[in-house]
């Protein structure tokens, strides 16, 4: 989001606050930032409750107030004056107190009859620039994101520079509702969530499991072709492992604790795989001749995510990673990254999702967030920048997005609605191998610390599926479709021929189903189409007599009669080429 758009959206958060405070006397506004595609404002509504039914009234009030607004006037004020101005708003008073302790300058703004506490970044011409907005939804949000604090009312809105852009975005939002992976997951019988198993712990049906495994097979085969080998690690471990790696200090509160009845060791469910793979590396002495060592493992890790943040497959507590870790010399880094970039490009090209790269670097203003020497961080970031340039990646730099142990390339995949998702991530790590004392003997006979490169192609299979299901609207390509072919006999007398065709397809490792229920032909066709099955084969007297099938293809309609063998070759080619 460019700065002009950010200023417009942030200004609209102020406008929303002004409208709500006029309409609902006694309501307090808390914070209201610009976010991707829009803005939000948090409120303590007091005795009032707001729903989406109230939005037309609030939007009308926003437009009335806007007519009286001019350029935002930002003024520096003393703590005493700020406290006086906001004496009735406990949230602003708390912020003033915090800013004062931190030595920050206190600033206020007023675009016209609405004084607010804000550091700036506003529209220069509100009446012209704040026209194209829409309120979207109401949600609950704890003050400062802390569950110990009061639950506030958060109102989300969206805004764009032109009405055309706003209309297009609203159209995409409506389409996104239809593509919601939670609805499609139920409709297509892919996964379920049981209250007895627990929130954030999805269960996959035979169809959903098949999709997961096909995706993982492709992911692992691409990397196996570049030399990565499978390893395996258990799901629980002593917490000492994560104390050494540094994860305990950073994420100890997100780990599931495991109590043993036999030992006093403190155990946890593993939240990530890298320390385990490092122990495989450390299991024997290593020479430069063995490097690079390439390990991969698709396994489930566990993180105690907050219940309020869990959402379908996109945010879960059981996270299946198609993970890999490479141990190499500094000279081998570029070659490893070249392989990983090629794998990533190949995979996402097949998924139909264009990529750009975010170079996620450390925030130099917050050094305490990261482990390791500054010189190593600068070296690692220089290497990634050089790799991005040499590969002619469409990239941008994002300070503050690095992991605590190293910078990374986050590949951002764009879906069919134009939304970007951070998925594949090759991550450079000079820190953890040193913490575990990993070594290899170099050409001069001296002990050196290897570099580790973390990489997950899909990231989390669950999250990837949430994105991909919505990207294709449940219309999986033939190679991924749980059911590839629906064979529909026109009447009961054609059922035997339909079963014969199904058996022939199964022998060719294809996945057919026969819709032999005594419904009308039209109803059976509609059922197959609702299940988004790529091919329908209609069989009646003509097909039985000629040993053919009547082919209907999803999205293309009736392809006419086709010899069974010709159809088999057609679909097998599509599966092989993953089209």
Say whether domain 216-471 belongs to CATH 3.30.930.10. yes
Comparing C-alpha atoms, which of 135, 134, 152 is closest to residue 143? 152
Given the residues 154, 454, 463, 494, select the one marked as catalytic.
454
Map residue 181 onto helix, strand or coil. helix
384/403 Cα distance (integer angstroms): 14
Whether residue 485 contacts residue 503, with contact meaning beta carbons closer than 8 Å, is answered with no
Given the residues 61, 92, 303, 552, select the one marked as catalytic.
303
384/505 Cα distance (integer angstroms): 48
DSSP label at residue 175:
H
Given the residues 41, 118, 274, 322, select the one marked as catalytic.
274
Whether residue 160 contacts residue 169, with contact meaning beta carbons closer than 8 Å, is answered with yes
Question: H/E/C letters for each residue in 123-170?
Answer: CCCHHHHCCCEEEEEEEEEEHHHCCCCCEEEEEEEEECCCHHHHHHHH
Domain ranges of the chain: 3-167, 216-471, 485-577
Whether residue 242 contacts residue 250, with contact meaning beta carbons closer than 8 Å, is answered with no
454 is catalytic: yes
518-522 contacts at long range (C-beta below 8 A, 24 or more positions apart): 518/492, 521/488, 521/490
Q: Does 292 sit behind a cis peptide bond, omega within 30 degrees of 0 on the bond before it?
A: yes
Taken in order 203, 205, 211, 216, the sign of the CA dihedral is positive
CATH superfamily of 485-577: Anticodon-binding domain (3.40.50.800)
508 is catalytic: no
579/571 Cα distance (integer angstroms): 10
What per-residue confidence (pLDDT) applies to 3?
79
303 is catalytic: yes
211/186 Cα distance (integer angstroms): 14
118 is catalytic: no
Residue 250 CB partners (closer than 8 Å, separation 6+): 404
66/556 Cα distance (integer angstroms): 50
Fold (topology level) of 3-167? 3.30.980
Given the residues 41, 220, 278, 321, select the one marked as catalytic.
321
Given the residues 323, 410, 415, 429, select the one marked as catalytic.
323
422 is catalytic: no
Tokens 């991005």 — which residue? 388
134 is catalytic: no
471 is catalytic: no
Kindly report the pTM of this predicted structure.
Answer: 0.86
What per-residue confidence (pLDDT) applies to 517?
81
Mean pLDDT in runs of 10 for the chain (579 residues)?
87 96 96 93 95 96 96 90 94 93 90 90 92 95 88 96 94 93 97 95 98 98 98 94 85 86 88 95 97 97 88 96 96 93 96 94 85 81 89 90 84 93 90 93 96 94 97 97 97 94 96 89 93 96 94 94 95 95
Six token digits for residue 410: 């986050």
Given the residues 408, 463, 471, 494, select the one marked as catalytic.
408
């Amino acid at each position: 989001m460019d700065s002009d758009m950010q200023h417009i959206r942030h200004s609209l958060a102020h406008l929303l606050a002004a409208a709500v405070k006029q309409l609902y006397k006694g309501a307090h506004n808390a914070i209201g930032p610009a976010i991707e595609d829009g803005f939000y404002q948090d409120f303590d509504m007091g005795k009032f409750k707001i729903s989406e039914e109230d939005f037309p009234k609030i939007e009308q009030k926003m437009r009335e107030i806007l007519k009286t607004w001019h350029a935002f006037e930002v003024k520096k004020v003393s703590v005493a004056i700020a406290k006086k101005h906001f004496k009735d708003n406990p949230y602003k008073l708390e912020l003033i107190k915090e800013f004062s302790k931190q030595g920050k300058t206190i600033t206020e703004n007023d675009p016209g009859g609405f004084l607010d506490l804000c550091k700036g970044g506003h529209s220069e011409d509100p009446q012209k620039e704040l026209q194209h907005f829409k309120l979207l939804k109401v949600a609950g949000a704890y003050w400062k994101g802390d569950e110990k604090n009061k639950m506030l009312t958060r109102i989300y809105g969206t805004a764009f520079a032109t009405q055309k852009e706003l209309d297009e975005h609203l159209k995409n939002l409506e389409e996104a509702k239809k593509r919601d992976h939670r609805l499609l997951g139920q409709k297509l019988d892919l996964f379920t969530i049981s209250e007895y198993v627990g929130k954030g712990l999805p269960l996959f049906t035979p169809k959903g499991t098949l999709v997961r495994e096909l995706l993982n097979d492709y992911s692992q085969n691409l990397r196996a072709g570049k030399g990565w080998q499978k390893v395996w690690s258990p799901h629980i471990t002593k917490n000492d492992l994560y104390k050494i790696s540094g994860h305990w200090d950073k994420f100890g509160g997100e780990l599931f604790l495991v109590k043993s009845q036999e030992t006093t060791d403190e155990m946890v469910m593993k939240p990530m795989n890298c320390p385990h793979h490092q122990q495989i590396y450390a299991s024997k002495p290593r020479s430069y001749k063995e490097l690079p060592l390439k390990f991969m493992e698709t396994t489930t890790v566990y993180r105690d995510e907050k219940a309020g943040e869990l959402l379908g497959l996109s945010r879960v507590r059981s996270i299946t990673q198609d993970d890999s870790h490479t141990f190499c010399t500094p000279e081998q880094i570029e070659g490893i990254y070249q392989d990983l970039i090629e794998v990533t490009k190949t995979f996402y090209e097949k998924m139909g999702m264009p990529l750009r790269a975010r170079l996620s670097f450390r925030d130099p203003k917050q050094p305490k967030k990261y482990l390791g020497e500054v010189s190593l961080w600068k070296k690692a970031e220089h290497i990634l920048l050089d790799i991005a340039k040499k590969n002619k990646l469409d990239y941008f730099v994002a300070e503050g997005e690095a992991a605590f142990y190293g910078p990374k390339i986050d590949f951002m995949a764009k879906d069919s609605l134009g939304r970007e998702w951070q998925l594949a991530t090759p991550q450079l790590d000079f820190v953890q191998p040193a913490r575990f004392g990993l070594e290899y003997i170099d050409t001069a006979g001296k002990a050196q610390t290897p570099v580790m490169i973390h990489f997950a192609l899909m990231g989390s299979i669950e999250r990837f599926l949430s994105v991909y299901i919505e990207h294709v609207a449940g219309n999986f390509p033939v190679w991924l479709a749980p059911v590839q072919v629906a064979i529909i006999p026109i009447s009961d007398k054609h059922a035997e021929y339909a079963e014969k065709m199904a058996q022939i397809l199964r022998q060719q490792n294809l996945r057919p189903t026969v819709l032999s229920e005594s419904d009308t032909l039209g109803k059976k066709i509609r059922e197959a189409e609702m299940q988004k099955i790529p091919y329908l084969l209609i069989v009646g007297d003509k097909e039985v007599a000629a040993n053919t099938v009547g082919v209907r293809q999803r999205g293309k309609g009736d392809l006419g009669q086709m010899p069974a063998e010709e159809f088999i070759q057609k679909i097998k080619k599509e599966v092989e080429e993953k089209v």
